[in-house]
Every structure is written in structure tokens, then in C-alpha cells.
Amino acid sequence: MKEDTAKISLKALLWEFLKIGTIGFGGGMSIIALIEKELIKKRKVVDLEEFLHGIAFGQILGPFAVNTAIFIAMRLYGFVAGILSAVAFMLPSVILVIILSQIYFAYHTIPSLQTALVGLGPVVIALIISAAWSMGKKALKNVFAHIIALLSLLLSFYKINTAYILIFFGLIGIVRGLIIEKKRFKTNKLLSVFPFILTGAKLSSLPELFINFFKTGLVFFGGGFVLVPILHEELVTQLKWLTEREFIDGVAISNLTPGPIAVLATFAGYKVYGVLGAIISTSALFLPGVILMLFLTKGYNMLKDVTVFQYFLSGVTPAVIGLVVNAALKLAPSSLINIPSYVIFVISLPLLIRFKWHPAFVLAIGAVAGMLGVIQ
């Protein structure tokens, strides 16, 4: 999409990602829900189908919310815009984690923000469900799409890597397409991804800090909490940069901020090498996924009109809807903990779906309820 035909200026796009990165509590699918409401449904910067494809690509390697932001920006304004959007999106979380890390390592306590987060939980669930409803109305066009979405939801309950689920249903889409057309297609372009795993290194310099987090980023498949056991093995068991207690507190601090839980790398990097270490570790962890996303987005322009690729995406698109619903169901038990939390959830849902309130206002209601002790 060329700049003169884009429905939003680059400056406005970066501002939107900065705002989403500031209020994106809950990470992952809650951020996707914010992007869907603000940029897809409201501003229509890209088609919903393209947006769902971007989410699918983003699931392969690294934090998929960041990858989705890159996809949208690159579709509109190219390579540099993709990088700038990722930076704008991550900036609030990284700054907040650095501040909280400074306080934590100075006083060995976690700031008392948990009460606000308790109130945000029910709103986040409502936000994800509202996004699934909005996307599903447009993307689930036939019985095949509904079946794929349901099967994707069921498979995701068994903790199968999301990348495998999307690839599987993409292949199902190809088979279905070929059967319908009763034709054989030849493709000359194959996209292969070969993750190279580097050996660990004992930290003695900033380059080695970069290498350790970069190699972790190379195996960061599936996004979200998949990263937690990987970093635990690396940072606590092997390298011993963090104690068990510090790691647990680092996960908690990561959850106290907007943005993906991958900012746990920011916390660990700060412990090892201060503010500079926090920036380097975060950049290194995200870099493999960012690079892959840039290539996939570029390839999307070339492949989107290839028939077999269209069939592949016909299976991937409804599968994404199933994954979105699954995210809400998985988060619900820890967020909907009592009658007041259910009340906030029930109030939030129509405010988002029927009355189309801005998510920031609804999140503010939840935060205030949490701080007032309504949910305990």
C-alpha cells in the first residue's frame, strides 16, 4: 500500500502503537484485541483478512503482538515503518520495566500495583472476547471456516505450539482448495525457516549478553508464556544470572506492565548490566522474530496472489479466531475469581461490543475497581 493511499499517516500510526503499548495490559491477545479495535475496525488501515494473516505469521517466532504491529506498518509504509512501529509499541513497557527493576534491585520488593491488575483482569477477558466476536463475524464465512476455528480452539487446549496448529490448518486449506478446484498447481517459491541454535556463552562482555539473548530469540516459538521455561533454564539453571526468587519476581514485574511478557528479558538484562544491559537484552531477544517477520511481510506481497498460498491462508485465518477464543478461556480462571469480577466482566462486554467504548476507558474502570478493593 502506497503512502498516498494509506488511511493513516505514519506519524499517526506510530502514535497509535505507542498508545496501545501503554495500555496493553494482559499482553498477547489482549494487545491484538486493542489493535483490532483501534486500527482495523475503527480506522480500517488494512483489511481484516490481512490482519489475521499478520497474526498468524507473528505466531511463528518471537512475540506475536510486536510482529503483528510490524506487519501492519510494513504493509502501509515499508521496512523502516515496521521497525519504528515495533520500537514505539515496546517503548512504554521497556521504560516501565527498567524503572521497576531499579526499584526492585534497590529495595528487593515489588511495587504495589497488583491491586490495579486484579481489576484489569476481567476487562482484559471482555476485550479479547469482543475482538474474537468482531473478527469472527467477518472471517468465518462458511461451515469450513467455523469447523477450523472450533478445531483450532480444541487443539490449543492441549498446549500444542500455535505455529504447528496454524501450519496444520494451512495445509488443510490447501488440500481443500485443490479438491474443490480439481487442479494441480505448481509453485516455484518455497519459504523455509531454519532455526540455528547457538551454544551458550559465559558472560564477560556486552556482545556476549547480546549473543545469549539472541540465541534464545531463535527458539522463541509460539510467543507468550512459552518464553518463561526457556529463560528459566537459561538464566537460572545454566548461567545463574538470576536466583530462583529473582526470576519469579521478574515474571511478576513483567506482568505488572503493558506489552508482552518477553520484557522479562529487560529485567534480566538490567540485573546483569544495568540500563544498557536491559536495552541490549530486549533488542537481542526480539531481533530474530523481527527479522523473520520483515521477510514474511515482504514475501506476503509476492505470494498473496498465488492460488496455493491463498488456499493456505484460507485454513490459517479461521484457526486464528480459535486461538483468540482460547486465550480468553485460559486467562478467565485467574481473572474471574469472584462475583465482583464477573460483574465487571459483564459490564465491560457490552461497553466494548455494543456501545463501542474506547478500551482505555473500560480498562480504567477495572483498574479503579481493583484499587478500591472491589475485587479481592
CB-based contacts of 152: which residues, under 8 Å, 6+ apart?
A: 165, 169, 318, 319, 320, 321, 322, 323, 326
| pLDDT bracket for residue 226 (50, 70, 90) | low
Q: What are the helix (H) ranges across the chain?
A: 10-23, 28-35, 48-58, 64-77, 79-107, 114-139, 143-156, 162-181, 206-217, 227-231, 244-255, 264-303, 307-335, 339-353, 359-371
Report d(CA 344, CA 114) in Å as an integer: 17
Cβ neighbourhood burial of 329 (10 Å; 0-12, 13-18, 19+):
middle
- Answer whether 103's CB lies under 8 Å from 69's CB: no
Give CA angle at 265 (262, 267), nearest 5°.
115
Give the three cell numbers for residue 181: 478446484
Which amino acid does the sequence have at 265? A
- Answer whether 29's CB lies under 8 Å from 190's CB: no
| pLDDT bracket for residue 243 (50, 70, 90) | confident
**Predicted confidence (pLDDT) per residue in 51-75, tens digit:** 999 999 988 888 888 999 999 999 9
**Predicted confidence (pLDDT) per residue in 253-268, tens digit:** 776 677 676 888 999 9
Lowest mean pLDDT among 4-13, 179-188, 242-251: 179-188
| pLDDT bracket for residue 229 (50, 70, 90) | low
In this predicted structure, the answer to whether residue 203 has a pLDDT above a threshold of 70 is no
Give the three cell numbers for residue 28: 498477547
Give the three cell numbers for residue 163: 505455529
Among residues 179, 134, 143, 144, the alpha carbon closest in space to that of 325 is found at 134
Please give the share of the chain, as a percent, with pLDDT higher than 70: 86
Rg of the Cα atoms in the chain: 20
Higher pLDDT residue, 368 or 260? 368
In SS3 terms, 305-319 reads as CCHHHHHHHHHHHHH
Please give the share of the chain, as a percent, with pLDDT higher than 90: 32
206: Cα within 13 Å, side-chain hemisphere: 11
In this predicted structure, the answer to whether residue 234 has a pLDDT above a threshold of 70 is yes
Higher pLDDT residue, 346 or 100? 346
- Answer whether 344's CB lies under 8 Å from 120's CB: no
Domain boundaries, the chain: 3-113+131-185+290-330
- What pLDDT was estimated at residue 151? 94
- What pLDDT was estimated at residue 187? 41
In this predicted structure, the answer to whether residue 213 has a pLDDT above a threshold of 80 is yes
Helix, strand, or coil here: 192? coil
- What pLDDT was estimated at residue 51? 95
- Answer whether 100's CB lies under 8 Å from 257's CB: yes
In this predicted structure, the answer to whether residue 222 has a pLDDT above a threshold of 70 is no
Q: Position of cell 455494543?
A: 354
Report d(CA 284, CA 198) in Å as an integer: 13
Helices 162-181, 143-156: crossing angle, 10 deg rounding: 160
**Alpha-carbon distance values, 109 to 103, 171, 224, 245 (Å):** 8, 49, 25, 11
Highest mean pLDDT pick, 49-53, 193-197, 323-327 = 49-53
In this predicted structure, the answer to whether residue 83 has a pLDDT above a threshold of 90 is yes
- Look over the chain and give the mean of its residue pLDDT values, rounded to a whole number: 82
- Answer whether 57's CB lies under 8 Å from 71's CB: yes
DSSP-derived letter for residue 271 is H
Lowest mean pLDDT among 20-29, 171-180, 267-276: 20-29
**Contacts for 98-107: CB closer than 8 Å, 24+ residues apart:** 98/266, 98/270, 98/275, 98/278, 100/253, 100/256, 100/257, 100/267, 101/253, 101/266, 101/267, 101/270, 101/271, 101/278, 102/270, 104/249, 104/253, 104/267, 105/270, 105/271
Report d(CA 83, CA 71) in Å as an integer: 10
Higher pLDDT residue, 6 or 290? 290
